Structure formats: C-alpha cells, structure tokens
Amino acid sequence: MIRTAGALLSGALAVFAFAPFSLPLFALISPAALFLLLKDIQPLKAAWIGWCYGCGFFGAGVSWVWVSIHVYGGASVLLATLATSLFVMALALLFALQAWLLVRIFHSKTTSWLGFIAVWIGFEWLRSWFLTGFPWLLLGYTWLDTPLKSLAGLSGVWGLSLMTLCLAIGSVQAITQRSSKPLFLALALPLLSLSLPSSWTSEKPVPHLQVALVQPNISQHEKWDSSQLEAILQQHIDLSKPYQDHDLIVWPETAIPSLYYQAAPYTEDFFSHLNTIGTTLISGFPFMTYDTDNPDIRRFHNSLGIFSQGNGVYHKQRLVPFGEYVPLEQQLRGLIDFFDLPMSEFSLPEHTDLMLQVGQTQLATLICYEIAYPELTRRSAMNSDLILTVSNDAWFGDSLAAEQHLQIARMRALENGRWVIRGTNDGITAVIAPDGGLNQRLSRKQPGVLSASIPSMQGQTPYQKVGVWPVLGISLLLLLLGLWPRPWRAFKDHAMTG
C-alpha cells in the first residue's frame, strides 16, 4: 500500500517540472523515486507500481483532456471523468511494461540503475510514435529555462531526457551504494552541456520577414456555428487590416471554419486586395479532396494554405485521436456529442508539401499537435528558413495545456536553430527565438495581433542532421553495460563446470 501510494505521488509530482511551473528539480525527484520503489520486488509487482506511477504522471500532467471532453465535447462530468481516466490508465500501461521489463531483466542486479536509464529513454522514444504517438511530457523539456538547455542543439529533447535520468539515477546510486563512480555518468552530460555553443545556426544576409500573427479569440461554442461564419471571418479581417503593409499575415488553425467556397463571399475582396499590394496571408482551414480509388468518397484534411500572393497547401500529418478522427468510428459515432465534434472527420493526406513559401522565405509548417513530434519537426525544418506553427488551444480552456504546448514549441526552436512563429486562436500566440527564448507573446483569452520582424536562418544543428539515433545508441550501450555481468558470469560458470 505504501509503495502504491508512493508511486502515484511520485508520478504526479512530475507535473511541477513542466510548464507553467517549470521546476526542473521535480524532473529529478520523480524518476528517482520510481527507481527506489522498484528495488527488491518481483516483476508483476513492478508492473503494478509502474502502472500506478504512470496514472499519477499522466493523471496530473494531461488532466486538460477532461476540459476538452466535458466543456467542449458535451460529455457529463461523470462521463468526462470516466473517459479521461481510461485515457490516463491506457497511457500508464507503458510505464507498467517499462517497470516490468526493467525488473524482469535486472532483478537484484547492482547495474539496474544503468538499465533504468536505458529503458526509460527507450519508452520515451516508443511513446513518440507507437499508435500514432503521444510525445507529451518528455523529461527533457524541463531544462528549457536553464543553462543546461544547450544540449538540445546537439541531441534534441532526447539528450536532455538522457541527461535528466543520468543525473537523477546516478546520484541516487552513488548515495545508496556509497560509491563515487556513478557520479561520473551523472555529471558528464551537464558538464558537456555547459561547454557547448549557444547557437549552431546563423542569420541569412537577407531582409527580415515582417509578420503579423492574428489572435481572434473565437469561442469554441461559436466557431463551428454556420450562422456565425460571416462575423468570425469579418473579425479576422478587421484585426488584419492595420497590418496590410507586412510581408505575411497569419490566421490560426481552422480560422476559416468551413470549406473555402462557403467562406469566399466574405473573404474574396480582402484577399484580392492583399494580393494586389503583395501581402501574403496564410490561414488554417478544412480542405476537401476525393479518394483516388473511389471518387465518390470525400476526404477532409486539417490544412494550412496561402490565400494571397502565392499558393501552396499543407495538410496535417499527425491527427489527434477522437479530436480529429474517431477510432472505431462505426461503433462510437453518435454515442456522445464528443464523438461528433465538427472537426472529427479529418483524414491523413496521401502526400503534402512540407513547406510554404513567402517570397524567398521557406516556412516549415506544422499544425497544432504536430509541433510535439521532435522527429517530424526536425525533418520538416531541416531546409527551412523558419518554422510556422498554428494552433487552437481553446479546446483546453484555462488548463495546463496551453503553457505545456508553448514549452514544446520553444524546444523545437532550440533543437532546430530556427525562429518559430506561433499563431493561435486564443493564445498563446508567440514569437520564439532560435535559443528557445520568448521574444514576444500575447496574453491569453484576448483578441490581438502580434507584429514582429523575423530573420531567416541558415545552417543545421547537429540534432537536425542525425536526429534521435545517437541518444538511442548511448541508451543501448548503457543497457549492454548493465547486462554485461550476467553473460560474463554464465561464461565463467560454464568454464568451471566444463
């Protein structure tokens, strides 16, 4: 019972390491506590402790799912609580498997601390792609506002997660075993991070891009009401008009909440005017295509398109389960309002452009949740001048989600050495520097426009060139080092009895 309560508590404490709290000490305490809780127990008990830890970790960290289901999905308090609990418990199974595997392989071994680090990193990576992935709350995000963040340019958020675990678990091992040897591994990456350059990329010698990011603050209860379409589009236009002299105006995710032919009567004059004066406008909108194999089937995409001074469309490549598509659709459609949300019928594209071009500037484009995928962003941004991401975090109300999402976007800027311009419906609209610092931001829940002059960047960070693989390689090496005594003893026993 004490271990169970300790697992739940230590998992929940991790939330304080992430935004908006941003206290990285808890990123050390939380996994260190789990490591101690897994000592001297059997694999099945370890799975239970790992699952309880995961319930605390995700229950506190992604509690904002409840807001989306209840407030905007129309589910009752009871049903929203049940659905959120099932989501959290399902995610926690990964921690259960992680703990079971660790104890099964390293039971009673003094090198289990090396295995703990390696297995944790492996499961963070697994979580980034398994069943479309949920790469939220990776430990490395917690160092974004510290001098240790420089490691991200070398090895991405993965390297910072590895550093966190080496520091936390190595310190615990040094204390419990009264040995200084684990401290060498614990301190190696922090010291390396402090010695790294602050920037791997540089500005291009070209004019800056003058950008206006429009934050309309449209209520989710009104956004998809067809009777509000004209008023919503007019609000975007009115906010944009004072910034017509800019190179680029950005409207957020699904700012046009209809197929374009329905919106055209209200926007065509304004877009034509922008085209005449040479201003590019990019907006999120639903895009319809027909299935190549069956022309009678229509498919909808969550897209980002250029509506003046150029052309190009980007279709979202990572969809949010239940929010943008419904697994087991035939069984769940109509069960509760949440499964019939207006934007829950999106499809993955067969192909899409990864960048949109504004003049001579190449923009890597990512929609909402996609910015959470380190490897997807890395591939998209590799040859870009800057990164554009749009979102609609109004789905999550005043929960932790908006600050966590901004923290993730800041890490993507740091990993890729690119400016990130982030346009949102109700916040947090922001301009993020290549070092992950917040250059400008708008307040939440208020309409407004953020105007900024953005440099184009050139060059690539080491992480952009090689991705997650070096960190996975180091983790594999730690795993093998942890396992080494077992095959060595087996060989020696065989030799003695042979």
**What is the spatial distance between Cα 189 and Cα 155, in angstroms, rounded to a whole number?**
11
Q: Which of 52, 55, 166, 368 is catalytic?
A: 368
Instruction: Name the architecture of domain 202-464.
Output: 4-Layer Sandwich (3.60)
Q: Which of 316, 324, 403, 415 is catalytic?
A: 316
Going from the C-alpha of 381 to that of each of 311, 386, 418, 480, the distances in angstroms are 19, 7, 8, 34
253 is catalytic: yes
Domain ranges of the chain: 2-198+468-497, 202-464
State yes or no: is 316 an active-site residue: yes
CA 220 from centroid of its chain's CA atoms? 22
Q: Which of 253, 324, 370, 403 is catalytic?
A: 253
8 and 60 in contact (C-beta within 8 Å)?
A: no
What does the pLDDT profile of the chain (498 residues) look like in tens digits? 899 999 999 999 999 999 999 999 999 999 999 999 999 999 999 999 999 999 999 999 999 999 888 887 778 999 989 989 999 999 999 999 999 999 999 987 889 999 999 999 999 999 999 988 999 999 999 999 999 999 999 999 999 999 999 999 999 999 999 988 899 999 999 999 999 998 999 999 999 999 999 999 999 889 989 999 999 999 999 999 999 999 999 999 999 999 999 999 999 999 999 999 999 999 999 999 877 777 777 888 999 999 999 999 999 998 876 556 555 444 444 555 554 555 556 777 877 878 999 999 999 999 999 999 999 999 999 999 999 999 998 888 889 999 999 999 999 999 999 999 999 999 899 999 999 999 999 999 999 999 999 999 999 999 999 999 999 999 999 999 998 765 445 444 444 444
Residue 288 zone, left/alpha/beta (φ > 0; ψ -120 to 50; rest): beta
Q: Which of 31, 43, 290, 313 has the alpha carbon at shortest distance from 165?
A: 31
Distance CA 54, CA 149 (A): 26
264: three-class secondary structure by DSSP: helix
Told to judge if 241 belongs to the known catalytic residues of this protein, a careful annotator would answer no
